[in-house]
């Protein structure tokens, strides 16, 4: 397929060519021309490349893997001596409890789905430090785009247990009005983040009294294979968007291990290719995640804005979702090993215990009280009515179109004619919401 090269009229052809030559002349003005005897290439596509008479391919296997930054080792000992904790003891305990809450909610909801009380669930076990840690250093005004394994971000940003449960049970208090699958708390998609970040940048340009804000977007290493990832990073770089890309590299996309996902040095190595400053971090170390996110946020706002990529390494200790049995494609022992050897919650616990902030009895008490709270929110949400049926027609457009009004009337007539064929009682207002 020949792109964009067919002229429409002779005149179009002229303009088409003329446009290109116009651009070329603008570039010529900034003097990208090859000087005789120059040691560097001056092709417009790569202006800093030195000539070489050595025929040598850049071998992917020869470039060293980017290192993984950590603050605290597996035993909870601080290994980055320059690290200065910026949280009070109470705040550390609070972070820990948030991670614990997510992990306890995960277990209960996973079981609830198994009992058929919920249609679907996805746990974030093993990745609590990435979500809670990164969210804990963001500003309230920062905009966050999530995939679906970031319950910790929501929890850290003020989502209550009731909020989670209302969404999971799709009841009338679910702001999503029961339209989306469970665990779809927010929206997905990586290029949106680039656009949103450009929007924030422009808004601040128009009104300098606005506080500086960044956009943070989370996605897995599997999603990074989508064209959207490429589009987003490239466009964010070329438009200098203040956005922090956080890739959760947990080793699996459903059943696909990373060896079948990519052959480069993870996701981080790609950032550099887009001209994006990049760091790889130990995702099981909440302190490291906090440090890199803090720094990334700062850098993203420097010099009018720029994108930053963080690759947070972890291991998906859970099944992909409730519709997945991960032992069909990986050994149970591998998972058990990760659970036992290293996980973000245990690591922070060790750190806290070493400082005398935590002990076994506090752990027991916290777990029991969180469990009680989760079950309370669970049963409250389960008892709540479903949203009015009318919600199925609303918000497709800003206003109901004549067609949708007519279809709503059609559905109402049908439901009133065959009331015994549908369970209407659980929906707020029954068929009455379908009246105009």
Residue 160 as a binder of other proteins (CB under 8 A): the answer is no
Cα 80 to chain center, whole Å?
Answer: 27
Of 143, 354, 357, 415, the one binding other proteins by CB under 8 A:
143
Determine the Cα–Cα distance for residues 253 and 247; give it in Å rounded to an integer: 12
Stretch that binds other proteins, among 5-13, 95-103, 322-330, 343-351 (CB under 8 A): 5-13
Strand partners, 312: 248, 281
Determine the Cα–Cα distance for residues 135 and 123; give it in Å rounded to an integer: 18
Residue 263 as a binder of other proteins (CB under 8 A): the answer is no
Q: Which is nearer to other proteins, 17 or 329 (CB)?
A: 17
Residue 189 as a binder of other proteins (CB under 8 A): the answer is yes
Backbone Cα Rg of the chain? 26
The token pair that represents 224 in the structure block: 């990074």
Residue 323 as a binder of other proteins (CB under 8 A): the answer is no
Determine the Cα–Cα distance for residues 354 and 386; give it in Å rounded to an integer: 48
Residue 107 as a binder of other proteins (CB under 8 A): the answer is no
Question: Cβ–Cβ contacts within 10 Å for residue 42, how many?
Answer: 14
Residues 19-48 that bind other proteins (CB under 8 A): 19, 21-23
Determine the Cα–Cα distance for residues 272 and 163; give it in Å rounded to an integer: 39
Q: Which is nearer to other proteins, 74 or 189 (CB)?
A: 189
Q: Which is nearer to other proteins, 275 or 419 (CB)?
A: 275
Determine the Cα–Cα distance for residues 241 and 243; give it in Å rounded to an integer: 6
Of 121, 164, 169, 198, the one binding other proteins by CB under 8 A:
198
Residue 179 as a binder of other proteins (CB under 8 A): the answer is yes
Residue 305 as a binder of other proteins (CB under 8 A): the answer is no
CB 385 to other proteins: min, Å: 16
Total binding residues toward other proteins, as defined by CB under 8 A: 64
Of 54, 90, 360, 398, the one binding other proteins by CB under 8 A:
398
Residue 306 as a binder of other proteins (CB under 8 A): the answer is no
Determine the Cα–Cα distance for residues 274 and 238; give it in Å rounded to an integer: 9
CB 78 to other proteins: min, Å: 38
The token pair that represents 292 in the structure block: 């890199």
Of 73, 80, 228, 373, the one binding other proteins by CB under 8 A:
228
- Which of 429, 435, 434, 395 minimizes the C-alpha distance to 172? 429
Question: Cβ–Cβ contacts within 10 Å for residue 277, how many?
Answer: 15
Of 395, 410, 416, 426, the one binding other proteins by CB under 8 A:
395
Stretch that binds other proteins, among 170-178, 244-252, 312-320, 424-432 (CB under 8 A): 170-178
**Is 315 in contact with 126 (CB distance < 8 Å)?**
yes
Residue 235 as a binder of other proteins (CB under 8 A): the answer is yes
CB 281 to other proteins: min, Å: 25
Of 92, 102, 129, 200, the one binding other proteins by CB under 8 A:
200
CB 205 to other proteins: min, Å: 7
Q: Which is nearer to other proteins, 87 or 210 (CB)?
A: 210
CA 8 to each of CA 13, 15, 16: distance values in angstroms, whole numbers, following the listed order: 7, 11, 10
Determine the Cα–Cα distance for residues 318 and 316; give it in Å rounded to an integer: 5
Residue 365 as a binder of other proteins (CB under 8 A): the answer is no
Determine the Cα–Cα distance for residues 371 and 315; give it in Å rounded to an integer: 25
| Beta strands 243-249; 215-220: pairing state | parallel
**Is 305 in contact with 242 (CB distance < 8 Å)?**
yes
Of 45, 64, 227, 356, the one binding other proteins by CB under 8 A:
227
Determine the Cα–Cα distance for residues 142 and 124; give it in Å rounded to an integer: 22
- Which of 279, 303, 304 minimizes the C-alpha distance to 293? 279
Residue 157 as a binder of other proteins (CB under 8 A): the answer is no
Residue 194 as a binder of other proteins (CB under 8 A): the answer is yes
Instruction: Report the half-sphere exposure of 413 (CA within 13 A, side-chain side).
Output: 6
Block residue for tokens 């591998």: 334
Of 77, 187, 255, 379, the one binding other proteins by CB under 8 A:
187
Stretch that binds other proteins, among 18-26, 95-103, 246-254, 369-377 (CB under 8 A): 18-26
Which residues make up the interface to other proteins (CB under 8 A)? 1-4, 6, 8-19, 21-23, 143, 145, 174-177, 179-180, 184, 187, 189-200, 202-203, 205-206, 215, 227-228, 230-232, 234-235, 238-239, 391, 395-398, 401-403
């Amino acid at each position: 397929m020949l792109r964009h090269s067919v002229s429409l009229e002779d005149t179009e052809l002229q303009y088409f060519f003329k446009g290109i030559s116009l651009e070329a002349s603008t570039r010529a003005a900034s003097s990208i021309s090859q000087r005789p005897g120059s040691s560097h290439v001056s092709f417009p596509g790569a202006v800093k490349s030195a000539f070489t008479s050595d025929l040598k391919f850049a071998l992917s296997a020869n470039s060293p893997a980017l290192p993984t930054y950590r603050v605290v080792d597996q035993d909870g000992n601080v290994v980055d001596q320059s690290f200065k904790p910026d949280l009070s003891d109470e705040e550390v305990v609070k972070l820990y409890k948030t991670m614990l809450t997510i992990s306890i909610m995960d277990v209960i909801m996973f079981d609830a789905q198994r009992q058929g009380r919920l249609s679907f669930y996805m746990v974030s076990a093993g990745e609590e430090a990435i979500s809670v840690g990164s969210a804990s250093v963001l500003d309230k005004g920062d905009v966050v785009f999530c995939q679906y394994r970031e319950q910790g971000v929501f929890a850290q940003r003020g989502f209550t247990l009731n909020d989670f449960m209302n969404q999971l049970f799709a009841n009338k208090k679910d702001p999503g009005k029961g339209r989306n699958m469970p665990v779809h708390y927010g929206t997905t998609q990586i290029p949106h983040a680039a656009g949103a970040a450009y929007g924030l940048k422009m808004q601040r340009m128009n009104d300098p009294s606005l506080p500086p804000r960044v956009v943070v977007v989370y996605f897995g290493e599997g999603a990074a294979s989508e064209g959207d990832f490429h589009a987003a990073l490239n466009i964010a770089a070329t438009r200098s968007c203040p956005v922090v890309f956080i890739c959760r590299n947990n080793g699996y996309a459903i059943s696909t291990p990373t060896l079948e996902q990519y052959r480069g040095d993870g996701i981080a190595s790609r950032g550099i290719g887009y001209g994006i400053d990049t760091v790889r971090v130990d995702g099981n170390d909440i302190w490291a995640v906090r440090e890199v996110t803090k720094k990334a946020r700062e850098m993203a706002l420097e010099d009018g804005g720029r994108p930053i990529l963080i690759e947070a390494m972890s291991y998906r200790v859970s099944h992909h979702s409730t519709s997945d049995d991960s032992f069909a494609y990986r050994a149970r022992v591998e998972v058990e090993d990760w659970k036992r050897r290293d996980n973000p919650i245990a690591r922070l616990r060790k750190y806290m215990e070493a400082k005398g902030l935590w002990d076994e009895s506090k752990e027991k008490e916290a777990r029991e009280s969180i469990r009680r709270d989760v079950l309370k929110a669970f049963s409250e949400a389960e008892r709540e009515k479903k949203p009015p049926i009318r919600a199925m027609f609303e918000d497709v457009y800003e206003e109901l179109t004549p067609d949708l009004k007519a279809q709503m009337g059609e559905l109402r007539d049908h439901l009133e004619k065959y009331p015994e064929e549908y369970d209407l009682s659980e929906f707020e207002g029954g068929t009455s919401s379908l009246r105009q």
